[in-house]
């Protein structure tokens, strides 16, 4: 065979690297398949059923979710609740950012306090608050603050606070050390360093994280609203469980428009800050 | 009095305020837009508090009770009496935690695979502008619908169960990963792709010999970040999808039995699971990034 002969004439090449790479890729695929199968058995999941039911689900959605003239009589309620969800997300983010920035400055490795245990405690608090499920916050606050918008805001604030503090900590950890060292060398006090070097260096990233949190919070607020009886989650569930699918569809369309507009505005703001 | 004279170049860059003094901070567009954004966000916050419904409870009293409840949840977690009420056993709690983790893993595997192919279609450097824009548009719309609404829709469209939970979480997860993956693909040096194409490589050869090796660390990072988010989502939607799981137990303990000590145990189980996922993901990311 001519092809075989051609290979033999070439100087021998070490193919071990390629073989290892292929083996590693194969191992990853096998592992993924095994994990998937195991997990499917644990939670009774049928991939075939899931895939085959997607087309029917979409047909069902397009048949039932098209808003009718009748559903527009609820339009003002839907807009009002969507606006309140969006505003709650902004307020929770801003208040959480105020608390978060103080903790992040004190806890960061670049401009934080010298005393290491304080920094460790701040990190631990942020991590615990971030990982406590949102539903737990909502259920806890429902017992004392009852069903209203303020309860939803508080639950949202508590989760946002944990997340933003973590993002802010990462941001402050990454700021360049040069300007801080320069200020320290000129005899600047701790707070002068924070306000003249730390925050100005990080401000664009901090704002970017805040805008990201506003977007994420709209989704979280929808879920919390289901429990606290306010906002998008509440109106959607109200119409959905009373089989007024056309109105529920209108809720979804209004949500899509709102989120896309907010995303576009915040992207524009973010780009202008870089 | 002799004043300092600036060179022409320096005089042009120095900014002066209305009094003619040299400004210490620059009034560049960047600073202006930071200030404008901050003012808008703060103004919106003020509006929010003015129009918010505070209910009829006494806020001071409610705060005091919330702190007591928080203490009961975090400091006295228990399943058995005296604090707990025996609604759950450790076995059922751990079993449902495993179910939630299984849903998380399935969702992440499905969305990782689907997103990889969607991201190829969405990347401007690998696909045609028309296809890229269509995929990006559809993905943006899917992403803008909150996960919980997807889950609620699927529970009615295909029935309660783990399929509704997995599909509901997957939609948002796929949209998120497609955006992240395609942004990594688009950062690849155009020369690498061109060189392979010029040597006659097929589309899939370009993908597996140039795109995948160059972006694998980013793909892994994004996938594991999403794994953590998916766990949070799986807990959150657990109460509504009818697939069981730790989220459902949390909901039962909190809104049916009103027992915060039991909520506390479940919260700690969720915390441990979240920390383990975070630990694994940080370790894996570090290992793969060091290896390549």
In a domain, B81, yes or no: no
Q: Which of A50, A131, A148 sits opposite B275 (nearest CB)?
A: A131
Residue A228: per-residue pLDDT: 85
Taking each helix axis as running N to C, give the angle between helix A149-174 and helix A75-107, from 0 to 180 degrees, rounded to the nearest 10.
40
Position B56 scores a pLDDT of 79
B43 and B142 share one domain: no
Quick one: average pLDDT of B147-176? 89
Q: Is A13 on the interface with B (CB under 8 A)?
A: no
On whether residue B247 sits in a domain, the answer given is yes
Contact indicator for A125, A171 with CB cutoff of 8 Å = no
Q: Supply the pLDDT for residue B26.
A: 63
Q: Which of A187-201, A234-248, B2-16 has the lowest mean pLDDT?
A: B2-16
Could you read off the pLDDT of B101-131 as tens digits, one per residue?
Answer: 999 999 999 999 999 999 999 998 888 899 9
Q: Say whether B48 and A90 touch across the interface (CB within 8 A).
A: yes
Judged by CB atoms closer than 8 Å, whether chains meet at A148 and B54 is answered as yes
Reported as a single tens digit per residue, the pLDDT across A108-120 is: 888 888 888 888 9
Residue B140 and residue B198 in one domain: yes
Residues B21, B119, single domain; the answer is no
Q: What is the pLDDT averaged over residues B175-194?
A: 90
- The answer to whether A223 contacts B236, with C-beta atoms less than 8 Å apart, is yes
Asked if A168 and A100 touch (Cβ cutoff 8 Å), the reply is yes
Q: Can you read off the two tokens belonging to residue B100?
A: 């939630």
pLDDT of residue A97: 94
Together in a domain, B11 and B98: no
The whole-number pLDDT of residue B25 equals 63
Half-sphere exposure of A255 (CA within 13 A, CB side): 29
Check A260 against B29: CB less than 8 A apart: no
Q: Which residue is listed with tokens 């597996």?
A: B208
- Domain count of chain B? 2
What part of A 137-196 touches B (C-beta under 8 Å)?
A: 139-151, 153
CATH of A69-273, one of 1.10.760.10, 1.10.3720.10, 1.10.10.60, 3.40.190.10: 1.10.3720.10
| Closest partner CB to A135 (pick from B66, B250, B260) | B250
pLDDT digits (tens, 9 = 90+) for A23-43: 888 998 898 899 999 988 888
Residues of chain A contacting residue B245, judged by C-beta atoms under 8 Å apart: 43
Residues B151 and B273 in one domain: yes
Nearest-neighbour CA in chain B from A217: distance (Å): 10
User: B156, B249, B265: which to substitute to probe chain A, counting the most A Cβ within 10 Å?
Assistant: B156
- Note the pLDDT of residue A2: 47
- The CA distance from A272 to the nearest CA of chain B, in Å, is 6
Q: Say whether both B103 and B52 belong to one domain.
A: no
Which position has the token pair 């990982």?
A: A131
Neighboring chain B residues of A263 at a CB cutoff of 8 Å: 140, 144
Is the Cβ–Cβ distance between A163 and A130 less than 8 Å?
A: yes
- Angle, vertex CA A220, rays to CA A215 and CA A225, nearest 5: 125
Reported as a single tens digit per residue, the pLDDT across A123-175 is 999 989 989 988 899 989 888 888 888 888 999 999 899 999 989 998 888 88
DSSP secondary structure letter of residue B220: H
Does B284 lie at the interface with A, CB-CB under 8 angstroms?
no
Q: Give the single-character DSSP code of B242.
A: S
Q: Quote the percentage of chain A above a pLDDT of 90.
A: 24
The pLDDT tens digits for B24-61 are: 666 666 678 888 888 999 999 998 888 888 877 888 88
Are B62 and B147 in the same domain? no
| Angle separating helix axes A149-174 and A134-145, nearest 10 degrees | 140
* Structural domain range at position B36: 1-69
For residue A4, is pLDDT > 60?
no
Identify whether B82 is part of a domain. no
The residue out of B69, B99, B127 marking a domain boundary is B69
User: Which pLDDT value is given to residue A101?
Assistant: 92
Touching check for A104 and chain B: CB below 8 Å?
Answer: no
Residue A93 has pLDDT above 70, yes or no: yes
When pLDDT is cut at 50, 70 and 90, the band that residue B84 belongs to is confident
Q: How far is CA B192 from the centre of its chain?
A: 32
pLDDT value of residue B288: 64
Same domain? B176 vs B283 = yes
Q: State the Cα–Cα distance between residues A238 and A242, nearest whole angstrom.
A: 6
pTM, two decimal places? 0.86
Distance, in angstroms, between B272 CA and closest chain A CA?
A: 9
Residues contacting residue B262 through CB under 8 Å, at least 6 positions apart: B77, B78, B79, B84, B85, B87, B88, B253
Q: Do A151 and B55 touch (CB under 8 A)?
A: yes
Which residues 208-227 of B have a C-beta within 8 angstroms of A?
Answer: none
Buried b (16+ CB within 10 A) or exposed e, A242-260: eebbbbbbbbbebbbebbe
pLDDT at position B258 is 84
**Can you tell me whether residue B248 is helix, strand or coil?**
helix
Q: Which residues contact A227 (CB under 8 A, 6 or more apart)?
A: A135, A138, A139, A142, A152, B255
Residues B20 and B119 in one domain: no
Question: Are residue B8 and residue B103 in the same domain, yes or no?
Answer: no
Query: How far apart are alpha carbons B63 and A151 in whole angstroms?
Result: 11
Tens-place pLDDT, residues A220-229 = 888 888 888 8
| Subunit contact B73:A140, Cβ cutoff 8 A | yes
Please provide residue B21's backbone torsions phi and psi, each rounded to the nearest 5 degrees: -80, 155
Q: Verify that B263 and B167 share a domain, yes or no.
A: yes
Which pLDDT belongs to residue A1?
A: 44
Q: Please check whether residues B214 and B246 belong to one and the same domain.
A: yes
Q: Quick one: pLDDT at residue A87?
A: 92
CB B153 to CB A57 under 8 A? yes
A166-188 residue pLDDT tens: 899 988 888 888 888 888 899 88
List the end-to-end C-alpha distance of chain B, in Å, as a whole number: 65
Q: What is the separation of C-alpha A265 from the centre of its chain, rounded to a whole number of angstroms?
A: 18
Neighbours of B264 (CB within 10 A): 26
**What tens digit of pLDDT does each residue of B221-277 get?**
889 889 999 999 999 888 887 777 888 888 888 888 888 888 899 999 999 999 998
Tell me the domain boundaries of chain A.
2-64, 69-273
Give the CA angle between residues A145, A150, A154 to the nearest 5°. Answer: 85
* Closest approach of A197 to chain B, Cα-based (Å): 12
CATH number at residue B235: 1.10.3720.10
């Amino acid at each position: 065979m001519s092809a075989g002969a051609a290979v033999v004439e070439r100087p021998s090449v070490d193919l071990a690297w390629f073989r290892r790479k292929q083996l590693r890729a194969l191992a990853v695929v096998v592992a993924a398949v095994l994990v998937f199968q195991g997990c499917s058995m644990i939670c009774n999941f049928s991939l075939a059923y899931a895939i085959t039911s997607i087309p029917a689900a979409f047909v069902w959605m397009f048949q039932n979710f098209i808003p009718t003239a009748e559903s527009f009589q609820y339009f003002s309620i839907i807009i009002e609740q969507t606006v309140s969800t969006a505003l709650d997300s902004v307020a929770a983010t801003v208040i959480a950012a105020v608390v978060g920035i103080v903790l992040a400055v004190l806890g960061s490795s670049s401009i934080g306090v010298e005393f290491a245990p304080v920094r460790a405690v701040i990190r631990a608090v942020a991590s615990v608050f971030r990982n406590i499920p949102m539903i737990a916050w909502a259920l806890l606050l429902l017992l004392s603050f009852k069903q209203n918008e303020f309860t939803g805001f508080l639950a949202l604030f508590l989760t946002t606070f944990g997340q933003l503090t973590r993002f802010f900590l990462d941001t402050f950890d990454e700021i360049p050390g040069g300007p801080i060292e320069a200020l320290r060398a000129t005899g600047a006090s701790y707070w002068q360093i924070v306000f003249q070097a730390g925050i100005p260096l990080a401000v664009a990233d901090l704002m970017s994280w805040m805008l990201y949190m506003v977007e994420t919070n709209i989704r979280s607020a929808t879920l919390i609203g289901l429990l606290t009886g306010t906002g998008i989650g509440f109106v959607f569930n109200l119409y959905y469980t009373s089989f007024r699918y056309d109105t529920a569809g209108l809720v979804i369309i209004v949500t899509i428009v709102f989120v896309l507009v907010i995303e576009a505005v915040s992207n524009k703001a973010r780009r202008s800050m870089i | 009095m002799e004043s300092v004279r600036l060179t022409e170049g320096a005089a042009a860059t120095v900014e002066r305020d209305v009094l003619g003094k040299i400004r210490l901070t620059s009034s560049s567009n960047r600073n202006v837009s930071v200030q404008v954004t901050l003012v808008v966000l703060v103004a919106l916050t003020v509006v929010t508090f003015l129009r918010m419904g505070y209910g009829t409870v006494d806020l001071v009293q409610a705060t005091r009770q919330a702190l007591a409840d928080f203490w009961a949840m975090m400091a006295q977690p228990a399943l058995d009496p005296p604090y707990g009420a025996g609604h759950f056993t450790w076995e059922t709690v751990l079993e449902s935690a495993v179910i939630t983790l299984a849903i998380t893993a399935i969702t992440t595997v499905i969305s990782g695979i689907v997103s990889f192919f969607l991201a190829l279609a969405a990347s401007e450097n690998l696909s045609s502008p028309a296809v890229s824009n269509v995929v990006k548009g559809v993905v943006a719309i899917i992403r803008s619908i909150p996960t919980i609404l997807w889950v609620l829709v699927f529970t009615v469209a295909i029935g309660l169960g783990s399929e509704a939970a997995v599909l509901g979480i997957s939609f948002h997860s796929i949209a998120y990963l497609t955006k992240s993956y395609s942004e990594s693909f688009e950062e690849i040096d155009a020369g690498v792709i061109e060189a392979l194409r010029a040597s006659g490589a097929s589309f899939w050869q370009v993908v597996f010999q140039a795109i995948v090796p160059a972006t694998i660390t980013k793909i892994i990072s994004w996938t594991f970040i999403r794994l953590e988010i998916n766990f949070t989502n799986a807990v959150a939607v657990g109460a509504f999808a009818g697939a069981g799981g730790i989220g459902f137990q949390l909901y039962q303990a909190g809104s049916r039995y009103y027992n915060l000590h039991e909520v506390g145990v479940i919260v700690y189980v969720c915390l441990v699971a979240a920390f383990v996922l975070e630990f694994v993901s940080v370790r894996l990311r570090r290992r793969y990034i060091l290896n390549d």
